[in-house]
Amino acid sequence: MTTTAPPARDHATGPALPRSRGDLSRTVRQALTRPAGTPLPQRVTAAYADPYGDDLQLALYLCYELHYRGFAGVDPVWEWDPGLLRLRAEMEHRFLSALRADVGPPRRAQDALADLLVEPADAEGPSQFLKERGELWHFREYAAQRSLYHLKEADPHAWVIPRLTGRAKAAMVAVEYDEFGAGRAERIHARLFAGLMTDLGLDTTYGHYVDAAGAEMLTNVNLMSLFGLHRALRGALVGHFAAVETTSSPGSRRLAQGLRRVGAGAAAVHFYAEHVEADAVHEQIVRRDVVGGLLESEPSLDEDIAFGADATEWTENRLGNHFLNAWRDGRSSLRTPL
């Protein structure tokens, strides 16, 4: 009797592992370069780490990306390694606890979403800056950092679909169908963003700009992965999605105007112009049918939806302040300037 060894797994796919930024990210990174199942050092803890700092946020990002496309040379079995999941849970607890404290007291989803419809007259966010006085290098930095999400746009939100029922599920699928190109590969929003990056002279490789992105962007993209990977946070993920769709259209209009002003290519302008109309429609569907449908079936998730929307606004404001503080000083917003 002869036996056949199982075929070797191909670990070549995925982006390269980014450089570590401290003990936590170094521990996770080093683990991923070893055979799956290699024990993690017991002394490593997230108990005292900055919940929004580079080290913890990069370590979380490394863990979360195992559920997306993984990394070149990393055994995909690491995705469900018990030791890595225990460390990830500790980091998530640290992150989520800080968010709940900083976002503020619980409130109703209706109030949280209503606040998103009002923009202070004197407020200047990144889209306003870019529309009125942004230079080409500002747009390139903005796109490089945003690529951490936009090159997988809508993927984190798709995790909520099997956790919804009835009207909420049907509406969520309808919106996601548009995000994924409505059956046409060339219209997938992630591909449209890659076209924007090409117009701006950026590398479209998935994960290429992780090393250049700061903790503020990592926090932003980790938030939706945190919500998406936990069924207990399904209400928060719906709140996140509602906040994104509610605020996207006005910001996209300003970004499209700014890109036209600096003479960017047609593909760059098209990405944001596409979102002006699409997200204005999506906002109505999400608020009425996704949020409304979820509250009908699970009214106990009201405060969770509000928390998801408020946490999204909090992390977006933090990221926006990071951009503006750097640009107003004439500095790069990136860890490694383009």
pLDDT at 167: 97
**Interval 184-206: pLDDT, tens:** 999 999 999 999 999 999 999 99
Of how many residues is the chain composed?
338
Give the homologous superfamily in CATH for domain 107-117+124-328.
Answer: Heme oxygenase-like (1.20.910.10)
Which residue blocks in 159-206 are alpha helix, DSSP H?
166-179, 189-199
What is the rounded distance in angstroms from the CA atom of residue 279 to the CA atom of residue 252? 9
pTM: 0.94
Q: At residue 22, does pLDDT exceed 60?
A: yes
pLDDT at 93: 98
pLDDT at 274: 87
**Interval 62-85: pLDDT, tens:** 999 999 999 999 999 999 999 999
Provide the residue ranges of all domains of the chain, joining segments of one domain with +: 23-36+45-101, 107-117+124-328
The answer to whether the CB of 60 falls within 8 A of the CB of 6 is no
**Interval 86-114: pLDDT, tens:** 999 999 999 999 999 999 999 999 999 99
Within 10 Å of residue 254's Cβ, how many Cβ atoms? Answer: 20
pLDDT at 121: 55
DSSP 17: P
What is the rounded distance in angstroms from the CA atom of residue 238 to the CA atom of residue 151? 20
DSSP 334: S
Rounded to an integer, the average pLDDT of 131-152 is: 98
